[in-house]
Structure 1
Amino acid sequence: MNEDAYKRTGRRIVLWRHGQTAWNLDRRFQGTTDIPLTESGVAQARRAARLLASLKPDAIIASDLKRASATAVELSELTGLPVVYDEALRETYAGVWQGLTHEEIKQRYEEQYTAWKRGEPVRRGGGELETEVADRAAPVVLRHIERLPEDGTLVVASHGGTIRTTIGRLLGLEPRHWESLGGLSNCCWSVLGEGARGWRLLEHNAGTLPEPVLGDDD
């Protein structure tokens, strides 16, 4: 990365999904179930932490679930920064869907699953609405970023669904459009930058360091 070309102004939020779990491999809905990382998940976290450490973050916050907290620890050990854990950054509670594979959910709760994929407000498995997840997670992120200097970087180790809803809320998107952001691969991240008109999505589902935007749209 050309550091001279990438002149950063404003704060930056790095929203980092946890490493791989056994339930990820099974395509099993995790929700708030506390599943640990696999050996591959730990290796993913270590690799990603080496990259994110080079961004010189100012603070790290994380979900208190094992898969996110263990991911955050890898960055903490490299940077010397403490991790602040907050249960408000947990994944969406999905009630009876938790522990089921996506195929099992589609078979047993087809109407509810289809409505969710259409972007309708659905309490998956009798759990939380996506807007309720944003209601609890986004204020935590904003509270921590506001404590940082004007060019500070906050790393948030959390979960795919929680990250998507938080991005949607911070960008001011209508909830029905949040699904269009797409998912995050294990240990990949999205970057929001502070601009003149609010937060901007600079990177999404990235596994490499941010590159400068050169041209008419910078």
Structure 2
Amino acid sequence: MGYLRHGIADDHDVFEIEMPTNELASNRMNEVRMALYPTFINTSQKLRNPNKKTKLVAWRDFYGDGDFCKEKGFIPYQTYYKAQRSLEKPISEVRTPVGVDVKYHPMESKEERIKYTELENQFYQGVVYRSVNMLEWMMGGPELHTISAFEGDELVGSVMCWQTGAVERLFVIPRWRNKELGKFLITKGFEYHLKNGRMNVETLVNELDEEGKLLLESMGYSFPVKLELFALGIN
């Protein structure tokens, strides 16, 4: 199976590829990838913005395909850390910031999902991306729990939780930063996972996101796993 995901960036198009293979292909992996790869290239060429540069990106060895991507000319592009935390460690109390209402955000209407996606994409560009269609696809899965902060009717911050133990997609609008809203949202994510019997949480953070790493570190995360993202220009 192969996946192609279209990302968002100011100056270029990004297409993330994944080629997961199972035990049935254990001795034919490169053959499978050779069959899938031309379709990725052709589809990217059809979907790309002709006025932008285009990058095809893949996680290095996420599915054991590092050598394949290297042979195709992929080079280092970005580095991420998988931040992890055990919920057996004490969780510091964070007070609810005054002036916001923090609650479960089911996004039941199309209008809510559009507003959420438009705001979220202001803070996540490049390989980490979201469209309304992808959000709706994710909401149809076994579990997606979104916790959001509202100032009146305005969405000012949010975080998502998954059954895998993920606490991710955190964002806070600029005027609500440095008021511990981000910490409070993360804490609510911890509480959600504890309620559902999970004792470990994780998230991805870009190596260059010093502010994000400091926030996660202050919330008890460590960064034991390094993930390399490789890219190939296909203009």
TM over 0.5: no
TM-score (norm 2): 0.26
TM-score (norm 1): 0.28
